[in-house]
Amino acid sequence: MTDKLTRKPFILRNPSILVVLAVLSVFTLAVTLLSQAYGSGVIPTSTVKVLGKTLCLALAAVAMDLVWGYLGILSLGQMAFFALGGYLIGQWLMYARTEAIVAASLAGNPIPPTPAELQEGVANQIFGVVGSADLPLVWAFAHSLPIQLALVLAVPGLLALAFGWLAFRSRVNGVYLSILTQAMTLALALWLFQNDNGFRGNNGLSGLQNIPGLDEVDQATLSVWFLWASALALGLAYVLAAWVVSGKFGSVVRAIRDDETRVRFLGYPVEGFKLVVFTLAAIITAIAGALYYPQAGIINPAELMPIASIYLAVWVAIGGRGRLYGAIVGAVVVSLLSSWFTGGRAPSIHLPGYTVNWVDWWQVALGLSFVLVTLFAPKGIAGIVDRLGGILSPRRHGRDLGPDQGALQEQEARA
Amino acid sequence: MKRFSATLVLTAATLAAHGAWAQDGEPIKIGVLHSLSGTMAISETTLKDTVLMMVEQQNAKGGLLGRPLEAVVVDPASDWPLFAEKARELLTVSDVDAIFGCWTSVSRKSVLPVIEELNGLLFYPVQYEGEESSRNVIYTGAAPNQQAIPAVDYMADELGVEKWALLGTDYVYPRTTNNILDAYLKGKGVAAEDIFVNYTPFGHSDWSKIVADVVALGADGKKVGVVSTINGDANVGFYKELAAAGVSADDIPVMAFSVGEEELAGLDTANLVGHLAAWNYFQTAESDANTAFIKEWKDFIGDENRVTNDPMEATVIGFKAWVAAVEKAGTTDVDPVLDAIVGVEVPNLTGGTATVLPNHHITKPVLIGEIREDGQFDIVSQTDPVPGDAWTDHLPESAKLEADWPGKDCGMFNTETNACVQVQSNY
Amino acid sequence: MIRPLIVLVLSLLFALPAAANPALRAVIDANLDQIEKPSRRTVEPLVADLAATGPEGLALLSAWADRSLGVTEDGRLLIVRGDAATDAVTGQPVPGADPRMLRPNSGVRGVIESALVANEISSPDPARRAAALARIARDGTADHLAALRAAPPEKDPALAAQRDRATSLLAIRFDPDPASRVAAIESMAGDVGLDFRAVLNPLLATTRIAAADEPADANVARELSIGGDFPREAAVALLTGQGVLQPRLTPADQRNALAASIVDGTAGGVPVADLSDPAARDRAYEALEATGTVPPAATDAEADAAIEANRFFEIYAEPDRAVTDAARAAERGAQVRLAAMAGIDLGLDALSMASIYFLAAIGLAVTFGVMRVINMAHGEFIMMGAYTGYTVQTLIADRTLSLVVALPLAFAVTFGAGVVLYRLVIRHLARRPLETLLATFGVSIALQQLAKNIFGTQARPLTAPAWLEGAITVNDVISISSIRVAIFVLALLFLGLFLFIMKRTRLGLEVRAVTQDPGMAASMGINPDRIAMMTFGLGSGIAGIAGVAIGLFAQVTSELGQHYIVQSFMTVVVGGVGTIWGTLAGAGLIGGLSKVIEALNPANALAAQTFMILFIIIFIQFRPRGIIPQRGRAAEA
């Protein structure tokens, strides 16, 4: 589609891809060599897990950036897709592990169990704690890894498609759309909280770190494997996202962000573009979730309460919207800082007459820093990179609308 | 105040490490895994302080096995996945020999696989829904048969309740408890239509409809009683609405399983007088041990108005049981301590003894208290110590299960098929 | 130490004059155990014995019931009023006594009070008569009926009405003469009182039986035919329960039977390895049945035959036909009214919910309507208002006064906070609504944590003054707590105030101008920045007042705002931006809807919330601009 003669190859137009891939490879290699399973053991398994999870969060942030930084939709419901991915993979993890246990236990019986008895045993194990013994309908495919993996992609994708179609079709945009996405994740969270619905309510799905069939592999090794998988997913998603936002497709997407009405007048099917990007981001987020929760070990509805999605937006904003690497930087820096500050490790600041304990004050600092970033550094950390780049080779062409002015409604760009 | 106590934590921990009360050798480390921030902080911080107090007292007595104790405090911040992460950190990075922690069921379920994988030892101090027995956990809080069943018996016998409203917050503890109670009441001949069950979200505030529904239950002339497993803040609105509707404890008594001295501190108790709570400990329990404990606690925390509560007693029992087991085993290694701890008897604060049972639960007396104007409880009933039952006898699926670690090395033993269903827990 | 010694000496001194009431002494001595540890189920004869011993016995009982009875170490009972203790038997004062106080549980206290009622009902003190009537209403007995009928006429008209009602209710239950029971029922027909229904329903309670013929001696309510509310399974279960039918074979029984008859690796001729197939198990079981090793299982044909051979009846527990007929007629009369009243009550609940949402959302609607700015910290302003109320209450003990102070103070505090937020943040982000949304999110996170740091995470009490504490009760079905009525009035007040400001003041005129066309308004000499600031302050101030109101009926926590913020957004979005009537309509829709869903699914309040949000998402599809869309130039914005 693009005019190849006048354009440089895709990778060269996006030097950040190479940088990100290189950094990612070096990081993964370093962690592997320092891990307990494959190296010197300097980095304990719990830290490997934290790093692996952080990569998954970065992956979700890349998707968020796609939707917000490039498409201009501030989706406050991204974590719904993230958690859905986790729940869907969690179903298989839980079912398969429990099935093995139940089969082993029933094997001691004088007569072999019928399939119905086996399933009843599994259901009783999984749902006994919340007081039910029937396998809910939503667990119909939980026994099959391929189907559940397909569902990891299909369910969030279809949800995003349906939601997006309804919302974009009726031209809901701007803050309305943000509130609506927030309502979506809240509705889903409240639904999952209900014990009747077969997702074990507030307890959620647990014990996800034990992978069925890999009982012999210890957690130290598994954690490294998941780190590799997360790094691979992040690298692939980065390339995919960079490809999507470059070229003609990307231009249209950014144009929609800057002035939706004009793009529509030019004859582009705006809704179609929006749907494609929104759905793609949902699927990427779901994959991130499916990789995250086996490392976290437990998923429950608190994970998709609206505040979680807001944090995702915060990371992207601090990292820098409209820059894919900005999303990664933001997610990594802020989430690691968060866990450091709330972990009780950060030294308290002793002021005369008062001690600032970071466990109590980190949230305040985060909230305020967020206000400050929005006010004074709308491009976030990536803005600094831009500025450095500007010193090396000053930009001589005209300014683009940029993300700080980009996510505008049409009349605002006019004013 | 809170910050003050938080600094106290750190100083206490360092004190414990450096305070050289003529103890030699490497300090013995124990982990404290309670949320110090987030929604559960208010409840769990108290337990963290309790553990620190016990550590301080133990060190003052000369430590354990001639070595000082050191508490490693971490903050899982009311974030359930973080509980698993911090537990792994405690066991692998800090190398603790025992962990005292968790409050909510979901945090326990989050920690369980890690503890079992790394062969740790967790003391869990809160009343819970049962249906679990892990090799690596000692449950010092009440199982349903140590709280819910005796409380319901009391309501039926002493208050003449014939019609039951089981109100709860929608999570696993109320769900399981209500399931057990439902089966138990039906077993006692209560008709299905005489049991009304309702679940509300955490922090629910709009109670008018539900209270009206409960009052309307009285329409068929039977005495109505409420069994409340409503959690935390939501109780405030519930009791306010109950009082506004003019429902007194004489009309419709409310038996709460999650309302203790700490929770009542946030309420105007004038309208609650006469409503009930079932626990294994009340601050008003009359025993020398309790009087001494309350005094030590107030001194330690430096606040005359702080109350004591049931999970604190469970923490104390757990700590003392661990100390006794370590002394008996002569080591802090988990396996010998687990062997030694079954059968250990430690005094509880209500004047009896708590015995650690083969199913890793303990014996506890059941106390019923009526709420007084001052936010304390009048104890109106106290049973002999009841052994905790990991698998309830009132649900068909779990009636045939039992847990027996020393005898059968199994936490989920099917007595019908005589086989161990699984050695690890069902999380 | 010394005190028990003194007590001992004193008690010896005083006890010597001996029992003033030897009968009471005897009862006490014989039953001291039971007095110390009474149980509701066994205490009744003891209470009767004590009551029979005369006035001292009654005094002892009433002291026992209000927990002023203590027992000394030598087993004497003392009545302790204030600091003074008197011996329960002799009536002598016992100075310096240190008895252990008895704490009978409320069940036992009920039994005691019930025994005292007969005397209390003719007490000269109206308060005690009222208490006695209340006790009878709660837990009446046949003895009470006699006492009520024997008591002297009641002069107080209110108490007389209560007494008549209590007498009628007891007559329905306990009068030996069916005719007067029927008369009592008919005299109260149509009443929807809970107590009346509580008397009627036990009369109408039925049990189901299966019998070959209609039982002659029973009061049959109706004959059941299979289908509808009496499905075939119910009939089978009934027949099984009566032992007419053998229970059906459950899979577990089948498995156990098969397991018990395994011979040489086969059961019923089927290899054990194949028994994982249910069909194979059936075959094996049938084979075993044929050989007679296992008992034959009940079949469908047997069940059909048993159903054919039996008739099914509903039998009243109450044997008297005339009484049940009258009760049924009275119940039918009440049913329709009851349904209507339940509807009205639901409506009141919905109205109350709507007024709360309206109060919470009105400030949001103002700022969103005028500035197109979503203030995510709006919920935290509500919380600030609630905490202001709590703080004022800790400083001013008088609750009415503290409320009077708290309301304007909450407005002032949040007005100030709103203005500060506007000046520092929102003004700089004008025309960037998504950024505003995020920045105010940051403020919201910070404020929430700040509240936690200052007030702690535990819920704080904000107690309503006594005059707001009760409920306005029309009858036993329709009732609403006063505090909710007050909130409703407050919402109306703010609706009026808001309309007044918008339509009748200079500020309102300027606000409307800025809303419609900021550029034009500015050129007419209006300072849009100042107007925006004032509107923002006003909206925030109303949120503060809403916070006090919400805190009065719910709990004050740092997450208070979070519980209402999403609903507030929904209210604004559903109602339509920019008009107060839209907000009103939105609040009405959401409040009503959530109550209706809750009524349809009373067991799960969480489901109600989920469905409501889903409904709103779908609703937005059809009316993206809300129920009352804004018209004119501003609508394009």
Residues of A in contact with B414 (CB under 8 A): 105
A-contacting residues of B 18-47, CB under 8 Å? 36-37
Does residue C214 fall inside a structural domain? no
CB pair distance less than 8 Å for A190 and C613:
yes
Report CA torsion sign: C394, C399, C403, C405: negative
Pairing of strands B377-382, B410-414: unpaired
Contact B402, B371 (CB under 8 A): no
List subunits contacting chain B, requiring 3 or more Cβ pairs under 8 Å: A, C
Does residue C337 fall inside a structural domain? no
Beta bridge partners of residue A205, listed in sequence order: A299
CB pair distance less than 8 Å for C555 and B370:
no
Does residue A167 fall inside a structural domain? yes
Cα–Cα dist B219/C81, whole Å:
39
Cα–Cα dist C68/C97, whole Å:
13
Domains of chain B: 2-143+286-363 (3.40.50.2300), 145-284+368-387 (3.40.50.2300)
- Stretches where chain B sits below pLDDT 70 are 1-24, 266, 427
Residue B9: the pLDDT is 43
Pairing of strands B122-124, B98-101: parallel
C136, C86: one domain? no
Contact B148, B154 (CB under 8 A): no
C-contacting residues of B 212-251, CB under 8 Å? 212-213, 215-216, 218-222, 232-234, 236-237, 240-241, 243-246, 249-251
C-contacting residues of A 136-175, CB under 8 Å? 163, 166-167, 169-172, 174-175
Query: Measuring CA to CA, which residue among B201, C566, B174, C560 is closest to residue A190?
Result: B201
C140, C277: one domain? no
Residues of B in contact with C484 (CB under 8 A): 208
For residue range C403-447, list pLDDT tens digits in order: 999 999 999 999 999 999 999 998 888 777 888 888 898 899 899
Query: Measuring CA to CA, which residue among C363, C367, C627, C370 is closest to residue C516?
Result: C370
B-contacting residues of C 534-553, CB under 8 Å? 550, 553
C166, C268: one domain? no
Residue C20: the pLDDT is 67
Does residue C186 fall inside a structural domain? yes
Cα–Cα dist A222/A294, whole Å:
10
Cα–Cα dist B38/B33, whole Å:
14
Within 10 angstroms of residue C398's Cβ, the number of other Cβ atoms is 11
Residue C519 contacts by C-beta under 8 Å, 6 or more apart in sequence?
none
Cα separation of the two ends of chain C: 85
Does residue A153 fall inside a structural domain? yes
Does residue A22 fall inside a structural domain? yes
Residue B427: the pLDDT is 66
Does residue A341 fall inside a structural domain? no
Average pLDDT, integer, range C290-307: 78
Pick from B5, B75, B78, B80 the residue to mutate for testing the A interface (most A CBs within 10 Å).
B80
Cα–Cα dist B238/A213, whole Å:
48
Beta bridge partners of residue B228, listed in sequence order: B167, B256
For residue range C169-200, list pLDDT tens digits in order: 888 888 888 888 888 888 887 787 888 888 88
Residue B19: the pLDDT is 42
Does residue C537 fall inside a structural domain? yes
Mean of pLDDT over chain C: 84
C462, C407: one domain? yes
Does residue A328 fall inside a structural domain? no
Residues of B in contact with A190 (CB under 8 A): 201
- How large is the ipTM? 0.84
Closest-approach residue (CA) in chain C for A181: C617
pLDDT of C381 higher than 90 = yes
Report CA torsion sign: C426, C432, C434, C439: negative
For residue range B245-279, list pLDDT tens digits in order: 888 888 899 999 988 888 887 677 887 888 999 99
C-contacting residues of A 1-60, CB under 8 Å? none
**DSSP letter string over B89-134?**
HHHHTS--SEEEE--SHHHHHHHHHHHHHTT--EEE-S--------
Query: Measuring CA to CA, which residue among B272, B219, B222 is closest to residue B247?
Result: B272
Does residue C138 fall inside a structural domain? yes
Residues of B in contact with C107 (CB under 8 A): 157-160
Between C39, C461, C483, which is nearest B244 by CB? C483
Give, to the nearest 10 degrees, the angle between helix C321-371 and helix C482-504.
30
Cα–Cα dist A65/B141, whole Å:
47
For chain C, the domain total comes to 4
Does residue C62 fall inside a structural domain? yes
The answer to whether B88 faces chain A, any CB pair under 8 Å, is yes
Helix (H) or strand (E) holding A206: strand A205-206
pLDDT of C286 higher than 80 = yes
B-contacting residues of C 554-613, CB under 8 Å? 554-555, 557, 559, 563, 595, 598-599, 602-606, 609
CB pair distance less than 8 Å for B216 and C563:
no
Residue A399: the pLDDT is 46
Does residue A171 fall inside a structural domain? yes
Residues of B in contact with C458 (CB under 8 A): 42, 262, 265-266
Residue B20: the pLDDT is 40
Domain end among C92, C113, C134: C113
- Stretches where chain A sits below pLDDT 50 are 1-5, 397-415
Chain A: closest CA distance from residue B199 (Å): 9
Residues of A in contact with C446 (CB under 8 A): 363-368, 371
Cα–Cα dist C616/B201, whole Å:
20
Contact C542, C382 (CB under 8 A): no
C404, C276: one domain? no
> What are the helix (H) ranges across B256-387?
261-264, 288-301, 310-329, 334-341
Residue C481: CA atoms inside 13 Å, Cβ hemisphere, count? Answer: 31
Burial of B14 (0-12, 13-18, 19+ CB in 10 A): exposed
Query: Measuring CA to CA, which residue among A126, A16, A27 is closest to residue A332?
Result: A27
Between C439, C609, C617, which is nearest A190 by CB? C609
CB pair distance less than 8 Å for C602 and B213:
yes
Cα–Cα dist C449/C444, whole Å:
9
Would you state the torsion angle of the CA atoms of residues B121, B125, B130, B132, taken in this order, to the nearest 10 degrees? -10
CB pair distance less than 8 Å for C624 and A174:
no
The answer to whether B170 faces chain A, any CB pair under 8 Å, is yes
Alpha carbon distances (Å) from C259 to A103, B33, C266, C284, C552: 18, 48, 10, 11, 65
Cα–Cα dist C63/C74, whole Å:
19
C74, C186: one domain? no
Residues of C in contact with A173 (CB under 8 A): none
Alpha carbon distances (Å) from C201 to C192, C332, C405: 12, 11, 50
Identify the residue with better confidence: C525 or B423.
C525
A-contacting residues of C 437-496, CB under 8 Å? 437-439, 441-450, 452-453
Size of interface B-C (CB pairs under 8 A): 157
Pick from B175, B178, B425 the residue to mutate for testing the A interface (most A CBs within 10 Å).
B175
Residues of B in contact with A303 (CB under 8 A): 81
Residues of A in contact with B395 (CB under 8 A): 131
Question: How does C375-386 read in b/e, with b if 16+ C-beta sit within 10 Å?
Answer: bbbbbbbbbbbb
Between C202, C473, C553, which is nearest B220 by CB? C202
pLDDT band at C492 (very low <50, low <70, confident <90, very high): very high
Between C41, C201, C456, which is nearest B221 by CB? C201
Does residue A325 fall inside a structural domain? no
Chain B: closest CA distance from residue C524 (Å): 48
Beta bridge partners of residue C79, listed in sequence order: C69, C86
Residue C4: the pLDDT is 54
C72, C140: one domain? no
Residues of B in contact with C563 (CB under 8 A): 203, 205
Cα–Cα dist B261/B249, whole Å:
18
Closest-approach residue (CA) in chain B for C602: B198
Residues of A in contact with B201 (CB under 8 A): 190, 193
Helix (H) or strand (E) holding C266: strand C266-267
Which phi and psi angles does C460 have, rounded to 5°? -105, 145
Average pLDDT, integer, range C495-508: 90
Contact B130, B392 (CB under 8 A): yes
CB pair distance less than 8 Å for B93 and A49:
no
Cα separation of the two ends of chain A: 35
Residue A6: the pLDDT is 55
Q: Determine the structural domain holding residue C258 and report its residue range.
A: 250-296
Q: Determine the structural domain holding residue A165 and report its residue range.
A: 10-309
Does residue C329 fall inside a structural domain? no
For chain A, the domain total comes to 1
Cα–Cα dist C67/C52, whole Å:
21
Closest-approach residue (CA) in chain C for B165: C603
Residue A392: the pLDDT is 61
The answer to whether C604 faces chain A, any CB pair under 8 Å, is yes
Cα–Cα dist C558/C455, whole Å:
8
Does residue A395 fall inside a structural domain? no
Question: How does A13-26 read in b/e, with b if 16+ C-beta sit within 10 Å?
Answer: ebebbeebbeebee
C105, C139: one domain? no
pLDDT of C631 higher than 70 = no
Alpha carbon distances (Å) from C216 to A101, A130, C300: 59, 48, 31
The answer to whether B419 faces chain A, any CB pair under 8 Å, is yes
Does residue C626 fall inside a structural domain? no
For residue range C57-73, list pLDDT tens digits in order: 888 888 888 888 888 88
> What are the helix (H) ranges across C157-264?
157-174, 178-188, 194-204, 232-241, 251-260
Would you state the torsion angle of the CA atoms of residues C128, C130, C132, C138, taken in this order, to the nearest 10 degrees? -150
Residues of C in contact with B201 (CB under 8 A): 605-606, 609
Residue A298: the pLDDT is 92
Q: Would you call A347 helix, strand, or coil by DSSP?
A: coil
